Amino acid sequence: MNTARRRLALFVLFFLPGLGISSWVTRTPDIRDLLGASTAQMGLLLFGLSAGSMLGILGSGRVVSRFGTRPVVAAGILTTVVSIPVIGAGAGLSQSALVTAGLFLFGFGMGSGEVAMNIEGADVERITDKPVLPTMHGFFSLGTVVGAAIGMVLTAVAFPVIWHLGLIGLISVPIALTAVRHIPYGVGLSPKGGLQAAGREPVWRDRRLWLIGVIVLAMALAEGAANDWLPLIMVDGHGLDAAWGSAVYTAFAAAMAIGRFGGGWFLTRFGRATVLGASALLGGIGLLLIIVVDNQIVAGAAVLLWGVGAALGFPVALSAAGDSGPDPTARVSLVATAGYVAFLVGPPALGFLGEHYGLRNAMIVVLALLALAAACAPALNRRPAPEREPVAP
């Protein structure tokens, strides 16, 4: 299959979930008001997202090893885009259960589909010998920029949430069906339907891979926390109105996109370890300013640091996982699972902390994990141990 078309299809398939998640996030203040929900109740709604995510994430690696990436990508992306109108319908009808069901479907589709898409992207990187994963995730961020810009405008003109999210889903379905056609069969298959090749030590025993997993977890949570809570942090924590809260989130998404599309030069010039360490520190500085400085202008500028700092962590760490030793599919799957657990499951837990201590203070957890990621980043400079010969039966 044509590698250029395959790569373009992956860009599109990453763009669509970004469009969907930002469309929902920019309308969270309106959805909260339509449902009459508190911060803790919004956190409960997001646990629908978490439950779906956990099911999708934890099962994805095994399903990919048995059936390959294509059917998992197809099922995941279609579930994701179909769920968006369900969320809108629940908000428009003031039915919390329907919103929760839509978020469950969104989490399940995104959790399962994007693990498979990252395995696809790592395979394309090996074929082309180019850093494809940061650009793929850049298209996710580009999708969030487009979705956030649309959401900001529609929020400002009080366009109904039900029609907004319904149209996003209607547009996304045919695009997703077209893109999936260019994903090849057979990628990620294991001869015996398992993630671990016979005779090799299980990848989860690799200490270096665990350090990479810590970095992915921290950076993914930094991104996921913004995707779920940033508009409300700016509205409730810094006193902006809903439209300006959406505008700040749009700026965050734009900073993420710029960081991912422009990150290739820095990776080539300075290497993964330096870039990841600097990214964690930059994101941490941005978060610290948002938490401790009670000034809207400072907070708005700090969001840009948060976005640029979080941009490269997830995709670059996934590339490092694929290069960290034998059985790259299992390695990417394991680390991607940790990342998506943090990205999709971590933010709802922050909602419960936010209910008791305020959303700004809840971000201290993310700040602490970014500091830990910065401390772990130098480990990526160590070369992986040579592959051992398989043990004879």
| 369 belongs to a structural domain | yes
| 304 belongs to a structural domain | yes
What does DSSP assign to residue 384? Answer: P
| 349 belongs to a structural domain | yes
What does DSSP assign to residue 38? Answer: -
The two structure tokens encoding residue 144: 């969030």
Q: What is the pLDDT of residues 74-109, one digit of tens each?
A: 999 999 999 999 999 999 899 999 999 999 999 899
Higher per-residue pLDDT: 266 or 130:
266
Cα–Cα dist 121/108, whole Å: 20
* Total domain count, the chain: 1
Assess whether pLDDT exceeds 70 at residue 391.
no
Confidence at residue 78, expressed as pLDDT on a 0 to 100 scale: 95
Q: Which domain holds residue 59?
A: 3-185+203-381
Confidence at residue 309, expressed as pLDDT on a 0 to 100 scale: 93
The two structure tokens encoding residue 220: 């993914």
Cα–Cα dist 363/122, whole Å: 31
Higher per-residue pLDDT: 195 or 299:
299
Summarize the confidence of residues 330-349 as an average pLDDT: 77
| 197 belongs to a structural domain | no
Tokens 């696809």 label which residue?
120
| 388 belongs to a structural domain | no
| pTM of the predicted structure, to 2 decimals | 0.76
Assess whether pLDDT exceeds 50 at residue 268.
yes
Cα–Cα dist 230/14, whole Å: 21
Confidence at residue 263, expressed as pLDDT on a 0 to 100 scale: 85
| 195 belongs to a structural domain | no
Work out the percent of the chain whose per-residue pLDDT is above 90: 34
Q: Which of 229, 227, 217 is nearest to 360 (CA)?
A: 229
| 389 belongs to a structural domain | no
Look up the CATH number of the domain holding residue 127: 1.20.1250.20
Confidence at residue 98, expressed as pLDDT on a 0 to 100 scale: 94
pLDDT confidence band for 388 (50 / 70 / 90): very low
| 335 belongs to a structural domain | yes
